[in-house]
Copies of this chain bind each other. A is one copy, B any other.
Amino acid sequence: MAEGRFDFRVTAKDKVTRARCGVINTPHGECETPLFMPVATLASVKAMRPDEVRGLGFDMVLANAYHLMLRPGVDVVEGAGGLHAFMRWGGPILTDSGGYQVLSLGRDVRITEEGASFRSHQDGGSVFLSPEACMQLQGRLGADIIMALDECLPYPSDRDRVERSLRLNHDWALRCRESHTDGRQALFGIIQGGMYADLRARAARMIVELGFPGYGLGGLSVGEPRDLTLELVSETLAHVPEHAPVYLMGVGDPLGIGESVALGVDMFDSTLPTRIARNGSALVDGGRINLRNARFTTDDGPLEPSCECYACSNFSRAYIRHLVVSKEILGLYLLTGHNLHKLSCLMSGIREAIATGCYTEFLNRLKRMGSGLES
């Protein structure tokens, strides 16, 4: 499967915005950017077969090093020949470092210069994650792109706290870079900086100075207003070299993706399409509908008339509502497939609009439709 090492080349640039198309090359094949990565937390995109995820038009998936470390454990994944073989995903994989999960899921978290110690949310066992241990963990999982260990701060965090964290994140990023030796894996640095534009800029300069083949923007889309997210992304990207792909971590709503692409973001991941599916919601143009709503009880139309996904080609809202209300697994499956199809269409629409020089029109249409954040 080795198709060479990691690289990124820009293939088209929008003339008005900073949107761009590119190609990421990895040992497991190429991906066109801007791209969205479905989340396979525990080495499975929830409710989907890997060949279906691929068939829906996704080239790369994200898995969580933190979760996999706890279950089934890195020994099991490594023993199976690594993550690609274990989960039967032949394309590129990105693993995140676990910094975010330590913050959000760990118990008794204690961060020192040395690393993060915490108790597992699974069995309460003590875990210690240093930058070096994180690189070893992700090395053994074997993803194509791995992320530096970062300290994620809660939102909101005061300026002093964020400022102190910049140095720690710089030092951890450096230690990650130094202990990362597997040339087949691309290590991305992560830029933090809380909700302070100048600290984001400073963090960007500090991390970029270390030199990584790509950069993650962490700690955003955690509850702050969308305008602020975009302002901070814009401020950060002014300090990131154009030749490196930029990955906005955790953003998955259609308008948020569209607006971030206009600022120069190349990669996205989010549990949104799969998570809201399990909650009974379908993405539709400009928003979402929740099939639990009684108004769908006898609705014989598809989830969305213009959609060509398997669910919309075959089943009525009434049937899918019945499945959701009855907790039938097929309901989760149909909604997950539909939502991922919507994201896939969005990304191919974005790439096509950039390549054909009409990204501004595309984005304006997306804005007119609405945010897709509300029900």
Contact = CB atoms under 8 A, between A and B. Distances in A.
Contact of A80 (B42, B314, B319, B323): B319
Contacts of A80: 298, 300, 316, 318-319
Interface string A60-101: 000000000001100110011000001110000000000000
Interface residues of A, number: 36
Given A328-B44, A329-B329, A86 B319 contact: yes
A29 B177 CA distance: 64
A49 interface: yes
A46 B331 CA distance: 10
Interface in A324-338: 325-326, 328-333
Interface in A311-352: 314-316, 318-319, 321-323, 325-326, 328-333
B76 A322 contact: yes
A314 B49 CA distance: 11
A314 B318 CA distance: 34
A300 B323 CA distance: 35
B323 A79 contact: no
Contact of A47 (B76, B325, B329): B329
A330 B79 contact: no
B46 A319 contact: no
A54 B326 CA distance: 23
Interface in A194-235: none
Given A43-B319, A71-B322, A76 B330 contact: no
A290 interface: no
Contact of A48 (B46, B314, B330, B332): B330
A297 interface: yes
Contacts of A316: 80, 86
Given A49-B333, A325-B71, A330-B49, A76 B318 contact: yes
Contacts of A328: 42, 44, 46
A274 to B, nearest CB: 10
Contacts of A329: 44, 46-47, 329, 332-333
A329 to B, nearest CB: 4
B72 A297 contact: yes
Contacts of A46: 328-330
B86 A44 contact: no
Interface string A257-268: 000000000000
Interface in A298-315: 298, 300, 310, 314-315
Nearest to A326: B42
Given A42-B326, A47-B329, A326-B42, A76 B297 contact: yes
10 contacts: A42-B326, A44-B330, A46-B330, A72-B318, A72-B321, A76-B298, A79-B298, A80-B319, A86-B316, A88-B319
